[in-house]
Amino acid sequence: MRFLPTAEQREFARTLDGMLGASGTPAVARAWAAGEQKPGRELWARLAATGLFALAVPERYGGSGLLPVELALSFVELGRHAVPGPPAETVAAAAFLERLGEAGAAEVWLPRIAAGEAVVSLCAGGPYALDADAADAVFVIEGGTVRRAEAHGRVQPSLDPTRRLARPLGGGVLAEGPAVTSAAAHAVEIARLVTAAQCLGLGRALLAATVSHVRQRTQFQVAIGSFQAVKHRLADTLIGLEFAQPLVYAAALAVAEGAPSAGREVAAAKVAAGEAGCAAARTALQLHGALGYTDEPDLSLWIRKARPLRDAWGTPADCRARVLAG
């Protein structure tokens, strides 16, 4: 099993990192949280131009194939830059539509997803859809049925304001039966994988910001980063992220190879990366002197994402149960 990305994969991740770094994602995230979608849609188009969404769409629909490893590496960068919107839900919807076998819906939506022309949300197992007010389509899976919502309810308050939650309403049944159940399980697996990757990237960003801060912030005329307690806290945070990273990569490889253990490995990666991201958020909050409690500094954009991402597409308890189920 190869845990190191290839040169081409690393270059793609660097391209995304550079593009997102130049895109002013904190301002985009704040606009998205306020319901202003134009900057977010422009960022979406730039992401599509890199080929990101094509990674989730088979070639026959205009994509480059479902490539879980490349998706995982890409979503680490999305987490690192706190990209708003439903990219995880969109790639999960692509995986669902492709696996469902309903040619009509796939022919309509998959080419648009690959080209970045459609923002799609997927609601499976919960009452709320993410960013339903901004999505071009919301697919709702309930048991063995799937429908496309016709409308949505009022946007609900959220711990992370860039995750706009609303209840999907109406819509006729598009498909039902075992094919829906099987496709939904596959979509959840993809959503968990890329969300785990986002948690990893978010944790990396928070740790980097915290290290930079403790090198500059002084107390008793010395940098607080020189204090042993601070070093230990940062080291513990780094260890959590370092342990999570190979689990995320291994899970991506398992999905790519269609391994029977893929579901268990994805769940394990989600637990480890989600908890590591939350630990990085707690460390950042404490060592920044609780700056992240207030909305003014950009640090809060990352801190407020940590717990919702940890719990999205399977809480730690859900994922641990999946691991134990084998």
pLDDT at 3 over 90: no
236, part of any domain:
yes
What is the pLDDT at residue 100?
92
Report the CATH number at residue 307.
1.20.140.10
Mean pLDDT, the chain, whole residue set: 95
pLDDT digits (tens, 9 = 90+) for 157-193: 899 999 999 999 999 899 999 999 999 999 999 999 9
What is the pLDDT at residue 226?
96
The CB density around residue 87, as the number of other CB atoms within 10 Å, is: 24
pTM of the model: 0.96
207, part of any domain:
yes
299, part of any domain:
yes
Structural domain range at position 281: 181-325
pLDDT above 70: percentage of residues in the chain: 99
254, part of any domain:
yes
9, part of any domain:
no
pLDDT at 212 over 70: yes
What is the pLDDT at residue 2?
61
Which is more confident, 296 or 307?
307
Q: What is the mean pLDDT of residues 117-143?
A: 95
What is the pLDDT at residue 302?
97
Residue among 86, 75, 96 nearest 152 (CA): 86
pLDDT category at 275 given cuts 50, 70, 90 is very high
Angle (CA) 134 123 185, round 5°: 140
195, part of any domain:
yes
Angle (CA) 136 304 293, round 5°: 140
pLDDT category at 72 given cuts 50, 70, 90 is very high
pLDDT digits (tens, 9 = 90+) for 15-27: 999 999 999 999 9
Q: Are 105 and 174 in contact (CB under 8 A)?
A: yes
Q: How far is CA 184 from CA 176, 180, 220, 308, in A?
A: 11, 6, 57, 21
What is the pLDDT at residue 319?
97
Residue among 299, 271, 276, 273 nearest 287 (CA): 299
pLDDT digits (tens, 9 = 90+) for 40-71: 999 999 999 999 999 999 999 999 989 999 99
250, part of any domain:
yes
pLDDT at 290 over 90: no
Total domain count, the chain: 1
Asked which of 62-66, 83-87, 102-106 is least confident by mean pLDDT, the reply is: 102-106
What is the pLDDT at residue 150?
96
What is the pLDDT at residue 103?
75
pLDDT at 29 over 60: yes
pLDDT at 1 over 70: no
265, part of any domain:
yes
d(CA 230, CA 287): 8
pLDDT at 143 over 90: no
